[in-house]
Structure 1
Amino acid sequence: MSIHTVKRVQCHLAWDNSIPPALHVQSGDTVTFDCLDASNGQITPASTRSALASLVFAQLDQVNGPVHVAGAAPGDTLRVDVLAADPAPWGWTACIPGFGLLADEFPEPALKIWALHTHGDAQGERARQGEYGYAWFDEERGIRVPLRPFAGEMGVAPAEPGAFSTIPPYRTGGNIDTRHLSVGSTLYLPVGVEGALFSIGDGHAAQGDGEVCGTAIETPMKVTVRFTVLKDKPYVTTPHFTAPNPHAGAEEFYGTTGVGPDIREATRDAVRNMIAFLGKEHGLDRVQAYMLCSVAGDLRMHEVVDMPNYVIGMMLPKSIFLRS
């Protein structure tokens, strides 16, 4: 296993399979990415609400990479193990005019700068159990938010030629904003081009499912992941993942997703993809799998604000499978 680094300046602003790799690695290698926040450095700890009026939107949601993983070919799956996620000591959350689920009801800009109190354990057991630290939303009122850092943007280059915005999520990943992809999780991505061309960014110190106002606790972040090329998971056609449950000790989930512009169809795809997983990995027929999804699966809105696409997840607890 080799350890590599992608620097902060090695970033780009589109998913495009013609962008030259910043790094070439082997399957099994580990890479640390030094990522700016989603504003690309336009918001700082000293920023005030007025900074939102001068945001250059074309510079938002940059990602670091791409990384070429040897042996990855179209039809394969890229396994991405999240080993560490270390945010800066500060972050920001904003209501940006025109963004968010209730953008029409919140037209005025607002900005909150957070102080992040971390345990300094970006990859240890406390991080894996969700005990990374906290940030005060309002100390006087006693409102405190637990930190659970993750990268909102993780994806591979699309097979289609051309430049695609980093703002929406796609079937190949991208701005999936899935808060469960913290330390100890594993993301599975469908490979569309030789080498996969993986990129990452958009550090979040904490986020709720859906990211309803359009921003999380946005923060610069160093993220370390390990890549493995898999040849035996053709059912992975959208992002899949395994993730620890921070509220249930050693409990883990397996998650599938549906990604698309129609929220109902994205939800149906999330269930279809779980049915495909259960058939391939656990030998269930489609009817059995469908019933199991209904009695043991949870549907979640992972990402609902980065138009035109939604990310809907279906999550099953791995503890129900007594034989693996």
Structure 2
Amino acid sequence: LSISPSSRILASGSRDKTIKLWRLDSGELLHTFEGRSLWSNTGHQDRISALAFSRDGRMLISSSHDGTVKLWDLSDQALLSTLPGHGWDVSAIALDLESDLLASGGSDGSIQLWDAATDQLLANLTQHQDRVSALVIDPQHNVLVSGSYDKTICFWNLSTDQVIHVLKGHVDRVSALSLTPDGAILISGSWDKTIKFWDVQHQEQLRVFSAHRDRINCLAMHPTGQLFASGSEDSTIKIWDLKIGDLQGSDRTAFADNRLCILRHAWGVNAIAFSGDGQWLVSGSADETIKIWQTA
């Protein structure tokens, strides 16, 4: 899932190889990018793994288990280019909205850096020993953070393309990463069912939550930096107060009061995203539904 900077358009990608564009406020389906078939030779050939909008919202970037990253022009729903750099599944992407730097991570443990404006491959980063499952860029500090099935989190200096720190602490696959807006705190989710908080400057673990009854699949930061959400294979989404470490909100939609907030799907939650205006939380699930929750 990805939400446009205007908070008007939602993009969703699926195991059925399609990418769909929706009106966020009404749920209206606007367009479908079909997977590759006899009728279309531009789409992906395997499941969609990640999506990201450009800063102006005119371009959508998608990655897939077919080993490619594709760039789409949303003004005419046309394929702009295909980046074929990974020989195996592409499992994660991150886009720096300030510089058009695109990072893609593969099942082979490699990370590739691209200029999204020119499609030029800038660097190939190798450190992880297993699938790269999560990527996040901190433009303020010129740092890329990567999480992997090898249970580690790496910090990369984007000026030198070198690893500057490796965090170890999870006892199972790292599946999701999120940074606070100021870049001071990194949040990581894992198949070990925990969420860990890390002091980025000192590279120290601040605290750990035993957050869910099953593996954590996704994290999302509220634009205020005061709340974040976690989605799990246990079919729940939990909303957390970042300051006090408690669940906040109601069991329906809003983040009012200081009560437990657990949102539910029928099956595991695979993706979640807050809108840039903070008014919406969107969740996608293996139950083949997308739910839009009003948060304000």
Above 0.5 in TM-score?
no
Bin for the TM-score computed over the shorter chain: under 0.3
Q: If the length of structure 2 is used for normalisation, what is the TM-score?
A: 0.27
Q: If the length of structure 1 is used for normalisation, what is the TM-score?
A: 0.25
Report 1 or 2 for greater relative contact order, CA contacts < 8 Å, sequence distance ≥ 6. 1
Bigger proportion of residues as helix: 1
Bigger proportion of residues as strand: 2
Which structure has the greater CA radius of gyration?
A: 1
